[in-house]
Each structure stands twice: as structure tokens, then as C-alpha cells.
Amino acid sequence: MGMILNISSALISLTLIFSTPLFAATQFMDKTLQGPKFSQPGEAKGLVEDTWLKKKVNYPKSVGKPDIFISLDQHFYPAAKPIIESYAKTNGLKIVLHEGTCGTSAGMVFKKAADITGYCCPPALTDRLPGLVFHTVGIIPNVLITHKENPVKNISGSEAQKLFSGDISSWQKLADKRAKSYKYSVNPVTRLHCKIRPGHWRILLDNEDLHSPMIQNVSTIPDMKDAVSADPYSVGFIARWLMTKKELQRLNMLNLNGIDPDDHKAVAQGRYPLYNVLNVSTWSGGGYSRKAEKLVQHLLKQQDKFDPKMYIIPANKLKASGWLFNGNELIGEPGS
């Protein structure tokens, strides 16, 4: 009988509507302020010794001896868990599944301590180790959030950058007519995770030095929601799936460049510019579990069955809309 174990972090130490890029949503941002959105396969060299490729995967002692050990980022874990549980049962496998962060996954990779790791971002150059293969599951819209009392409903990408950089310090300065009556200063809230990896919040502003000196930087997702819901003048950002019906009672989601983040077609076509990329990695070369490789292929085949509440735009829809892939890995936006 197959089984799956879920373990805590404490147990482990470690088609476009506009036909040319001219009309892409990102035109409304200052691209000189943006960080890279993707790294390219094969760019990194010399990060580990030549014998790395033959090194076997060696699990942490706390994991025991499973058929497959997986460490997934918290953004993909809820969507993947039921599919992995079903796969384990059907195939009679013992699978240990750990929920962590991109940092946790990177640590597992450098120790070569897990069969499969998951990320909420494209890999950094330092993540591209010999034999490590990335597979993109899909993307999730990142949404800008404000306090429930804030009347603003839409901002441009350029305005979003200026809110977080401090160049717009008053809500009244926004183009949205509803903002004219909101006579308050802007209090931006950030969560500057995965600083070395491309994409995510770096699509707005490349690095922390470009942010306002008045910025409030929080460490966790709950902290972000609490900080914005407690301050009528604040603005923050969060993955769309984390904005539940309960959260929408205390927080607003902003449209960006007139596009609703719940417009799945617009997101799939690359017209909504803020998103997280969900990647999982497997090993090639030697010393790896082929059972893990089969599981990842199964996950990719099941991508249309992810819980709709996760708001994942799967890789097959991105390919159909002209996003650039290298094998299974997403490496560029439409028209790039």
C-alpha cells in the first residue's frame, strides 16, 4: 500500500490580444527599474566540483528511507499534495513530502538531499547545478493589495513602481479618480524574499535599494496580510491564491493596467505583468531516483486538474499563448 508522509520544517535542517510586444502590459512600467524575469539554462558554470554529477542523492536522517523525498515551496505544495498522495497510493510508494520555501529547496539541492524540489521563482544562476533539470508547472498572478477602506481600484504598472519606490507618496496623485478624495500618504509594505532569483517582486523593482526608505519589509505571508489590513494607507502584494473569501473581507485587490488578476485569459496571454513561476526540479546524470522523474511527469500531465482555487495558469496554456520554453522550463514571456 502506498503512503505519503508530511513533515515539518523543524525536522529538517536546512494567443495575445495585441499582436506585437509594443502593446504588452509591461510597457506601462519603467523597464530600467525591473530586475531579470528569467535566467537561462547553461549560464552557470563552475559552481561545484566535477564529481557532482555522479554524487548520489542522500536524504536527511529524519526522512528515513522513502521511495521519493520531495521538498516543495509553500506556493505549490497545496496544489501538488492531493495529486502526490493519489499517486503514492496507486503506485504503492512511500513518499515523504515536505512544505518549505525556495530557500529550503535550494538548501536541499546544494546538499543533494531531495529527489524533487519546488520553487515559486525561476532559478537563479546559482541554482543551476550540473544534472539539475527544471520543469515549469505554471504561473500564479501576484496581486497588489490595499486596506478595505481604500477606494482605489486600478493603477498602472508605472504607478505601482512609484508607490513602492516612494516617488508617489500620496494616494491623491494616482490617475484613478477615486483616489482624489483619499488624502493620505502611501505606506508601502514588501516581502523581499528570494532576492537572488529573477521574477516575482523584482518585476516591479529590481532590488531593495530601489524601494522607498519608508518601506515596511515583512518576513512572512501572514505578516503581509496583517500589516496591510491594519493600515488604511498601505499597499502590498501577495500571490492570488492566498486571497481567500475571508481575506477579501478585509483587503482589496487592485487591477493593474486595467486588467483584473482574475482574468485568466489575460494572465495566460502575458498581459498581466505580475506573477510567480512555479518550478520543480529533478536530477539527471547519476545517483538519482527514476521514480521521482516519473512522478514529475505525472504532475505535468495532471496540470489541468489543479484546484481552481490555486489560480495556477498551467504550462500547457502558457505554451499555447507563446511563452518561451526550453524543454519543460519556462524561460521567457510572449514576444521576448
Give the pLDDT of residue 40.
87
- Region at 115 (left for phi over 0; alpha for psi -120 to 50; beta for the rest): alpha
197-212 confidence digits (pLDDT tens): 999 999 999 999 999 9
Q: What is the mean pLDDT of the chain?
A: 89
Q: Distance between CA 109 and CA 281 in Å, rounded? A: 9
CA atoms within 13 A on the CB side of 267: 23
What predicted TM-score, i.e. pTM, was given to this entire model?
0.89
pLDDT more than 70, % of the chain: 90
Q: Distance between CA 281 and CA 24 in Å, rounded? A: 30
Give the pLDDT of residue 336.
81
Q: Distance between CA 203 and CA 325 in Å, rounded? A: 19
Nearest to 285 by CA among 136, 126, 130, 135: 130
More confident site: 333 or 51: 333
Tell whether the model's pLDDT for residue 146 goes beyond 70: yes
Tell whether the model's pLDDT for residue 155 goes beyond 80: yes
Q: Residues 39, 41, 47, CA angle at the centre, nearest 5°?
A: 90
By mean pLDDT, which of 142-146, 161-165, 166-170, 290-294 is the weakest? 290-294
Give the pLDDT of residue 13.
37
The count of other CB atoms within 10 Å of the CB of residue 169 is 16
Residue 179: CB partners within 8 Å, gap ≥ 6? 151, 152, 171, 172, 173
N-to-C CA span, the chain: 47
Q: Do the first three CATH levels of 3-23+35-140+277-332 and 141-268 match, i.e. the same topology?
A: yes
What is the pLDDT averaged over residues 289-296? 91
Tell whether the model's pLDDT for residue 9 goes beyond 90: no
Domain spans, the chain:
3-23+35-140+277-332, 141-268
DSSP 111: T
Q: Please, which pLDDT band fits residue 286 given cuts at 50, 70 and 90?
A: low
Domain over 141-268 is classified CATH 3.40.190.10 = yes
Give the pLDDT of residue 284.
84
Give the pLDDT of residue 3.
57
173-198 confidence digits (pLDDT tens): 999 999 988 989 999 999 999 999 99
Tell whether the model's pLDDT for residue 26 goes beyond 50: no
Tell whether the model's pLDDT for residue 307 goes beyond 90: yes
Q: Please, which pLDDT band fits residue 38 given cuts at 50, 70 and 90?
A: very high
Give the pLDDT of residue 285.
72
Give the pLDDT of residue 16.
32
Q: Please, which pLDDT band fits residue 5 given cuts at 50, 70 and 90?
A: low
Q: All 3 cell numbers of residue 266?
A: 489575460
74-115 confidence digits (pLDDT tens): 999 999 999 999 999 999 999 999 999 999 999 998 889 999
Q: Are strands 275-283 and 132-147 parallel, antiparallel or unpaired?
A: antiparallel
53-72 confidence digits (pLDDT tens): 778 899 999 999 999 999 99
Q: Please, which pLDDT band fits residue 42 given cuts at 50, 70 and 90?
A: confident
Q: Please, which pLDDT band fits residue 7 given cuts at 50, 70 and 90?
A: low
Give the pLDDT of residue 156.
95
Give the pLDDT of residue 46.
56
- Cβ proximity of 336 and 29 under 8 Å: no
CATH superfamily placement of domain 3-23+35-140+277-332: Periplasmic binding protein-like II (3.40.190.10)
Tell whether the model's pLDDT for residue 17 goes beyond 80: no
Tell whether the model's pLDDT for residue 10 goes beyond 70: no
Burial class (CB in 10 A: 0-12, 13-18, 19+), 17: exposed
- Cβ proximity of 136 and 279 under 8 Å: yes
Give the pLDDT of residue 21.
36
Nearest to 113 by CA among 5, 13, 6: 13
